[in-house]
């Protein structure tokens, strides 16, 4: 698959390495060249330097023809905006968005974005690990706990 | 009217001052604590709240649910987008306005459903454009959420409208000539008004018809 990842932070770099080692073709978009050190000495993927909110940069990363797009910078709003540009302007079907704020993630899930909230995932897996329960599919962890609702 | 402004930079501060002076109920949300404190000292504490305007619980505390207008004027387009989108979708705020710093993002905001955007670059560009072009239709502003354009044009001596009475000019549908400046004096326009070269015309035109108006004015097809 052709995959475009926005953001070479811990999540983006790990995902890029995991996907390339399984033979997928990855393009990483990153603003800060320093961040690329997370990929190790030889970059296993194509790099496009620039902002993920810049349509020209997205075009250069071949978003138009990619099979999936991940917005995983540390900025929730950057991820949310980039994901919507990619969905609406480039017609990408499989778009996943990292959103650290659980309520914002829930609000945008209701608007149709696939928002992954790391805190909810980690907490749910910690819970199941502790209780010795079998792990569940991602969607069952990726929900806002009721008490945190509006 | 209850207006919430998000982003206490210079734009937010100046906007808040003017709106408060007009007697509106205003709340300025600023996410930096020290900055919020400063703004509070300046405007009065009752007009300022410390909080991240992109977070649902700050929005709740600020009273987004009863806001008539939410205006996002931070320096980051992605923050302004999220503020406006959540205001519209979660809190059902009727009117949201976004400052757009990168003019390339204006169309993206519209596509996403944020119709009211203000781009300083766009405004300055149109002012400069106004200075350097005379044969052109110059956009002055927008009405009706951007569907109707206010334009002005200085009538060139080559225009087929010169020496014609306004009633004899075929205008695109929905288009109105509303005002005329001749030799520095503003005049109302009637059907009898005969146009001359150098007249500055102000017109209202549906955005979709602007090109047609330009063609009629310049006699180009």
Q: In the A/B pair of chains, how many CB contacts fall below 8 A?
A: 56
The domain made up of B2-122 has a fold known as: Rossmann fold (3.40.50)
pLDDT at B43 over 80: yes
Binding-face residues of B in 98-157 toward A, CB within 8 A: 102, 104-105, 108, 111-112
By residue range, what is the domain housing residue A67? 2-117
CATH of residue A109: 3.40.50.720
Task: Answer whether residue A20 is part of any domain.
Answer: yes
Confidence of residue B221 (pLDDT cuts 50, 70, 90): very low
SS3 helix, strand, coil % of chain A, rounded to 5?
Answer: 50, 20, 35
Q: Chain B: give the shortest CA distance to residue A78, in Å.
A: 5
Q: Any chain A CB within 8 A of the CB of B63? A: no
Q: Is residue A132 part of a domain?
A: no
* B78 closest CB neighbour out of A75, A89, A101: A75
Q: Is residue A90 part of a domain?
A: yes
Determine, yes or no, domain membership for A148: no
> Residue B135: pLDDT above 60?
no
In this predicted structure, the answer to whether residue B220 has a pLDDT above a threshold of 80 is: no
Out of A75, A77, A107, closest to residue B56 by CB: A107
Say what percent of chain B tops pLDDT 90. 62
Mean pLDDT of B114-123: 82
A128 inside domain: no
- This prediction has a pTM of 0.78
Tell me the C-alpha distance between B135 and A71, whole Å. 45
Complex-level ipTM: 0.93
In the three-class reduction of DSSP (H, G, I as helix; E, B as strand; rest coil), residue B201 is classed as: strand
Give Cα separations from A120 to A13, A75, A117, A123 (angstroms). Answer: 21, 17, 6, 5
List CB contacts of A131: < 8 A, sequence separation 6 or more: none
Domain residue ranges in chain B:
2-122, 133-218
pLDDT at B133: 55
Residues of chain A predicted below pLDDT 50: none
| B68-78 pLDDT per residue, tens | 999 999 999 99
Q: Residue A82 domain-assigned?
A: yes
Q: Which of A82, A84, A103 sits opposite B112 (nearest CB)?
A: A84
* pLDDT in the model for residue A28: 98
Residue A129 belongs to a domain: no
Long-range contacts (CB closer than 8 Å, 24 or more residues apart) made by B45-51: B47/B16, B47/B20, B48/B8
Q: What domain count does chain A have?
A: 1
Residue B187 touches partner A, C-beta closer than 8 Å: no
What are the distances in angstroms from CA A54 to CA A5, A36, A46, B98, B100?
A: 14, 19, 18, 18, 13
User: Which residues fall within 8 angstroms of residue B142, CB to CB, at 6 or more apart?
Assistant: B148, B149, B150, B207
Tell whether A133 is covered by a domain: no
**CATH 3.30.70.1450 for the B133-218 domain, yes or no:** yes
């Amino acid at each position: 698959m052709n995959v475009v990842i926005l953001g070479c932070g811990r999540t983006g770099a790990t995902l890029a390495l995991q996907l390339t080692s399984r033979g997928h073709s990855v393009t990483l978009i990153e603003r800060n060249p320093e961040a690329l050190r997370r990929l190790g000495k030889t970059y296993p993927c194509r790099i496009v330097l620039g902002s993920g909110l810049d349509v020209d940069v997205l075009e250069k990363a071949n978003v138009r023809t990619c099979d999936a797009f991940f917005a995983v910078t540390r900025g929730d709003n950057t991820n949310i905006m980039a994901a919507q540009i990619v969905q609406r302007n480039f017609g990408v079907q499989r778009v996943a968005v990292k959103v650290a704020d659980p309520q914002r993630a829930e609000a945008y899930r209701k608007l149709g974005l696939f928002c992954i909230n790391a805190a909810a995932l980690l907490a749910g897996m910690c819970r199941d690990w502790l209780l010795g329960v079998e792990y569940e599919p991602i969607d069952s962890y990726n929900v806002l706990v009721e008490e945190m609702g509006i | 009217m209850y207006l919430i402004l998000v982003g206490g930079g210079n734009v937010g501060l100046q906007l808040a001052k003017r709106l408060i002076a007009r007697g509106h109920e205003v709340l300025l949300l600023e996410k930096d604590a020290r900055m919020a404190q400063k703004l509070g000292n300046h405007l009065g504490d009752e007009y300022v709240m410390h909080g991240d305007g992109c977070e649902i619980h700050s929005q709740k505390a600020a009273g987004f649910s009863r806001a008539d207008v939410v205006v996002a004027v931070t320096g980051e387009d992605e923050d302004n987008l999220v503020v406006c989108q959540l205001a519209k979708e979660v809190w059902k705020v009727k009117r949201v306005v976004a400052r757009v710093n990168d003019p390339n993002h204006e169309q993206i905001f519209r596509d996403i459903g944020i119709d009211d955007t203000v781009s300083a670059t766009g405004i300055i560009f149109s002012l400069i454009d106004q200075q350097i072009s005379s044969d052109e239709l110059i956009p002055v502003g927008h009405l009706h959420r951007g569907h109707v354009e206010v334009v002005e044009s200085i009538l060139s001596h080559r225009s087929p409208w010169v020496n014609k009475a306004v009633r004899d000019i075929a205008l695109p549908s929905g288009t109105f000539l509303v005002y005329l400046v001749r030799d520095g004096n503003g005049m109302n326009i009637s059907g009898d008004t005969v146009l001359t070269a150098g007249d500055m015309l102000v017109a209202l035109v549906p955005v979709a018809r602007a090109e047609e108006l330009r063609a009629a004015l310049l006699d180009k097809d």
